[in-house]
Structure 1
Amino acid sequence: MTTAQPGLRERKKQATRDALSAAALRLALERGPENVRVDDIAEAAGVSPRTYNNYFSSREQAIVAAVTADRAARIAAAVAGRPAEVGLAVAVGDAVVGQYTEPGDEARAALLMIMGSSALRDCYVETVAAIDGPLAEAIAGRCPGLGRLAAEVLAAAVGAAVRVAIGQWLRAATVPASMPGFVVPAGSLPVLMRSALTPLGPALDAAAKHPAA
Structure 2
Amino acid sequence: MDTTDRSAAPDSPPGLRERKKAATREAVHRAALRLTVENGLDHVTVEAIADEAGVSRRTFSNYFATKEDAVLWGEEQQAAALLRAVAGRPAQEGPWTALRAALRSFEPGPFSPDRETITRTRLALRHPSLLGRQLATHAGLEQDLARVLAERGAEPLRSRVLAAAFLAAMRTTMRTWFESEHPAELLDLADQVLHLMGRPFDDPGAGQA
TM-score by length of 2: 0.64
Change (3 A) 1:106 1:164: closer
Counting only pairs closer than 5 Å after superposition, residues 21-36 of structure 1 correspond to structure 2 as 21-36=29-44
**1:68-125: per-residue Cα shift (whole Å, max 9, x none)?**
2421232133224434454332111343576885413443233222211111111111
Q: Is 1:118 paired with 2:122?
A: no
1:43 to 6, 26, 51: 51
2:96 to 74, 84, 89: 89
What is the rounded CA distance, in whole Å, between the counterparts of 1:41 and 1:119 in structure 2?
17
Contact 1:102 1:108 in 2 (8 A): no
Q: Is 1:185 paired with 2:183?
A: no
Q: Where do 5+ consecutive residues of structure 2 fail to align?
A: 1-8, 205-209
Q: Is 1:103 paired with 2:97?
A: no
Q: Is 1:136 paired with 2:147?
A: yes
Percent of aligned pairs sharing the same letter: 32
Contact 2:95 2:149 in 1 (8 A): no
What is the rounded CA distance, in whole Å, between the counterparts of 1:100 and 1:194 in structure 2?
21
Contact 1:77 1:138 in 2 (8 A): no
Contact 2:86 2:148 in 1 (8 A): no
Contact 2:29 2:73 in 1 (8 A): yes
Change (3 A) 1:96 1:128: farther
Shift of 1:44: 1.6
Contact 1:24 1:63 in 2 (8 A): yes
Contact 2:27 2:53 in 1 (8 A): yes
Q: Is 1:64 paired with 2:72?
A: yes
**1:184-212: per-residue Cα shift (whole Å, max 9, x none)?**
6379883556655655x37xx69xxxxxx
1:211 maps to none
2:25 maps to 17
Shift of 1:41: 1.0
1:161 to 159, 165, 169: 165
Change (3 A) 1:164 1:85: closer
Amino acid of the structure 2 residue aligned with 1:38: V
Q: Where do 5+ consecutive residues of structure 1 fail to align?
A: 174-183, 207-213
Size of the aligned set, in residue pairs, is 183
Change (3 A) 1:7 1:83: same
**1:4-61: per-residue Cα shift (whole Å, max 9, x none)?**
4355544443332222112111211222222211111111222111221222222111
Deviates more, 1:3-12 or 1:36-45: 3-12
Change (3 A) 1:20 1:197: farther
Deviates more, 1:158-167 or 1:12-21: 158-167
Change (3 A) 1:19 1:138: farther
TM-score by length of 1: 0.63
**1:107-163: per-residue Cα shift (whole Å, max 9, x none)?**
3233222211111111111112443447735763x54xx7xxx66x66654443355
